[in-house]
Chain A
Amino acid sequence: MPFFEQLAGNLVYGAILGSVYGLSTMGLSLIFGVLRIVNVGHGPFIMLGAFTAFWMFTLFGIAPVISISVALVLGLALGFVVFFAVIKRLINAPELSTLLATFAIGIFLEEVAKFIWGPDHRGYSWDIGSIDLSITLIPYSKILAFISSIVIAYLLYMWFQKTKLGAAVRAVVEDSEGAAACGINVGRIYALSFAIGIGLTVASGVLVTLFVPVGINPYMGHEYTLKAFVIAVLGGLASPWGAFYAGFIFGLIENGSYTLLGTIPGVEPFSLTRFVAFSLLLVILLIKPTGLLGGESK
């Protein structure tokens, strides 16, 4: 049955893509969970990660898998800078202010990137062979993206569960005033969480290029921002773990629904998959705003 064979193949790709989506959304959810700020300039940070991978590979021949750690460190540093320069002053400001400020930061990053690297679409070829699953072929680089994103998510999970600092972050997510009363320096946790969130996002940019090693350009982030919103909501918006699982689900839905929508005559099925994705977002927001995987309603 070619139909099911194709569907299966698409789902395999969907799962890999989903893992990348998941990791790229965790940062967004973490920042929202702790600071209650929606980072509308999310995508441009992914773009920075993609360029990190590109330059490390082209200039120094460093494998993208190794660049992940470089991107993470760069992202952390950038996160601290952005936090202390801008976000810190907006912690208690109305939504409007933070939405606008983060959007402006995003635009600024894009324009700076364009200024430095030009508007070209770049890419790299890191060929390490591929595996034949009989239903489809998968390059090892994509499998590495899949594994890396799971490993990073797991490490983060352990950090949250096993370290004191991680526990403090969890406490702030639960109840920031209560946490402050318990002697937790909430301001420091905000800074740290924001930096980790940005770090994760920049690192996920490297994974994005492992999945799609081409089309790297200053404006590539926009598409990921929109998808990250859908995924974050799927996962409950405030939960990084929810976001990670939701990424998988989203990847599967995106690729799976294409095959199904393709059976409708007279339409553009691929464009409709996006309609499906955004409709899903609305339905979930209305039925269960805490997300498909979210726990109790707040």
Chain B
Amino acid sequence: MRIAKFGLLLALIVGLAFLGCAQQEQPKATPTPTPAATPEEKIPDKILIGGTLSLTGKYSKEGQMSLWGIQAAIKWVNDVHGGVNVGGKKVKLEFKYYDDESKKEAVQSLVERLITSDNAMFLLAPYSSGLTLAGAPIADKHKVLYMSHGGASDRIFEQGYAYVVQTLSPASEYMAPFLDMVKAVDPSAKKVAMVYEDSEFSKAVFAGARKHAEELGFEIVLEKTYPKNPTDLTPLLSEVKAASPDIIIGGGHFADGQLLASQMADLKLDAKAISILVAPALPKFYEALGTKAEGICAPGQWEVGVTYGPEAAKKSGIDYFGPSQDEFLNLFHEFAGKDTMPSYHAAEAAAAILAYAKAIEEANSLDTDKIRNTMNDLRFMTFFGEWKIDPATGKQIGHKMVIFQWQGGEKKIIWPPSAANAEPYYPIPTWDEKAAGKLAKK
């Protein structure tokens, strides 16, 4: 029977294709949530943290940075700290990752693979709010902790996921400290213009900004959005110019943020202070714009030069955990190469790893529920800043955004004062002054 053979052959090929890679499967040792089991809890020889990273596709830049940050943090925990202290043992961390191509389909199957076939005990969520949401049901189903280091949207934490916790500040907080800064430096500045990308993330950021601005008594004279990947923002910016605002906040991602700054310069659209989302965080921003970038501010989860360290922790009366900033930089360079400086994407991913290590040590257990409960009361500091979650939702409330400003070709942290390494330069030089070579440096 030709047909029967053919069918059988086909079925065999399909079957083999799968089985070939499923050999290493073992039944997963699910941590039992019964507290009585703890004293006899068997501590394994290594702790596997799994995660999907966006190494290709639209988040590949952020994905690469995260990977280096994670590798640096793991190295610190294993080599400097000697491993995670749990159950009287020093246990090494290991990190296993796959590339999710910045696409939602891949996330779920890869997360499932990490949990069931690689036996990852803890997960790092993918980059971006969408992908974080995509993987959440899988993590929740398997009751595995799922730490967000790149999913900023507040809405993730309104969905009732018990095992999703956040290490970075949520989107609604991004622009708040910038407005605080302006308010403190120049109480007379009143008029704010907001020009931002029509996307989920930016809308969340600027909804938060609008609310905060109104609370502080600013007047929003103009609020406009633009779609993704714009080629010309001049129609929008000429409106902004007509509204003559005191300060301008806006942006969304990399390309549009650069375009925004570049075309503000074209139109000589001056303001006393400008803050742009995301784009100015990367050194390439200054390389691309040159002195035009002077004085431009941006919010960051973290920045090289922040003053978080053991002393700051002592002052706040909390524990410090993890490498100092210099240690982190050295470790980071080992993986990323000497010339690459970490962006905040690297730091927040590293902090997520450190938070896991710290929480495991505090709980003195590898049981997911115990650790999650411990996290509710956990408050400590890493080089990334404070870590404290809202017990009910898992949203980050301890960590604070920083504002930095390009001053004389360097990113200087100007706010909050407790983390700052420079004074705010205010008002910033006009575009004409910048073209003549003036820097935003005293």
Please report A residues at the B interface, Cβ cutoff 8 Å: 2, 6, 9-10, 13-14, 17, 111, 114, 118-125, 127, 130, 136-139, 142, 211-217, 219-220, 222-224, 227, 254-255, 258-259, 262, 268-271, 274
Q: Do A121 and B268 form a contact, CB below 8 Å, given A215-B259, A270-B198?
A: no
- Measured between alpha carbons, how far is A286 from B266 in the docked complex, in Å? 39
> In the complex, what's the smallest C-beta–C-beta distance from A149 to chain B, in angstroms?
15
> In the complex, what's the smallest C-beta–C-beta distance from A137 to chain B, in angstroms?
6
Given contacts A212-B259, A270-B236, A271-B225, 8 further A-B contacts (CB under 8 A): A9-B238, A119-B60, A121-B288, A122-B288, A136-B234, A215-B288, A217-B254, A255-B234
Residues 109-132 of B contacting A (Cβ, < 8 Å) = none
Residues of A within 8 A of B284 (CB): 120-123
Residues of A within 8 A of B290 (CB): 125
Residues of A within 8 A of B288 (CB): 121-125, 213-216
Question: Which B residue's beta carbon lies closest to that of A217?
Answer: B255
- Measured between alpha carbons, how far is A271 from B299 in the docked complex, in Å? 25
- Measured between alpha carbons, how far is A14 from B284 in the docked complex, in Å? 28
Residues of B within 8 A of A217 (CB): 254-255
A270 touches B232 (CB 8 A): no
Q: Do A215 and B234 form a contact, CB below 8 Å, given A121-B284, A121-B288?
A: no
Residues 197-248 of B contacting A (Cβ, < 8 Å) = 198, 224-227, 229-232, 234-236, 238-239, 242
> In the complex, what's the smallest C-beta–C-beta distance from A80 to chain B, in angstroms?
29
A119 touches B230 (CB 8 A): no
Some 29 contacts from A to B, beta carbons below 8 A apart, are A6-B239, A10-B235, A13-B232, A13-B234, A17-B231, A114-B56, A119-B64, A120-B61, A121-B279, A121-B284, A121-B288, A123-B284, A125-B289, A136-B234, A212-B232, A213-B262, A215-B256, A215-B259, A216-B288, A220-B229, A220-B255, A223-B229, A255-B232, A255-B235, A262-B239, A269-B224, A270-B198, A270-B224, A271-B227
A215 touches B258 (CB 8 A): yes
Question: Which B residue's beta carbon lies closest to that of A275?
Answer: B227
Residues of A within 8 A of B225 (CB): 268, 270-271
Please report B residues at the A interface, Cβ cutoff 8 Å: 56, 58, 60-61, 64, 198, 224-227, 229-232, 234-236, 238-239, 242, 254-256, 258-259, 261-262, 266-268, 279, 282, 284, 287-292, 435
Residues of B within 8 A of A139 (CB): 266
Pairs of residues from A and B, 8 with the lowest C-beta to C-beta distance, nearest first: A123-B288, A215-B255, A214-B258, A125-B290, A121-B254, A270-B226, A258-B235, A10-B235
Chain B at the A interface: SS class? helix
> In the complex, what's the smallest C-beta–C-beta distance from A283 to chain B, in angstroms?
21
B287 touches A122 (CB 8 A): yes
Question: Which A residue's beta carbon lies closest to that of B263?
Answer: A212
Residues of B within 8 A of A268 (CB): 198, 225, 227
Question: Which B residue's beta carbon lies closest to that of A127?
Answer: B435
> In the complex, what's the smallest C-beta–C-beta distance from A247 to chain B, in angstroms?
12
- Measured between alpha carbons, how far is A220 from B232 in the docked complex, in Å? 14
B255 touches A214 (CB 8 A): yes
A223 touches B231 (CB 8 A): yes
- Measured between alpha carbons, how far is A17 from B282 in the docked complex, in Å? 28
Residues of A within 8 A of B238 (CB): 6, 9-10, 136
Question: Which B residue's beta carbon lies closest to that of A125?
Answer: B290
- Measured between alpha carbons, how far is A122 from B290 in the docked complex, in Å? 11
B232 touches A254 (CB 8 A): yes
- Measured between alpha carbons, how far is A114 from B101 in the docked complex, in Å? 14
Residue in A123, A124, A212 whose CB lies within 8 Å of B231: A212
A2, A124, A125, A254: most-surrounded residue (chain B CB, <10 A): A125
Residue in A123, A214, A227, A258 whose CB lies within 8 Å of B236: A258
Residue in B232, B239, B262 whose CB lies within 8 Å of A17: B232
B225, B234, B236, B435: most-surrounded residue (chain A CB, <10 A): B234
Residues of A within 8 A of B258 (CB): 121, 123, 214-215
A123 touches B435 (CB 8 A): no
B235 touches A2 (CB 8 A): no
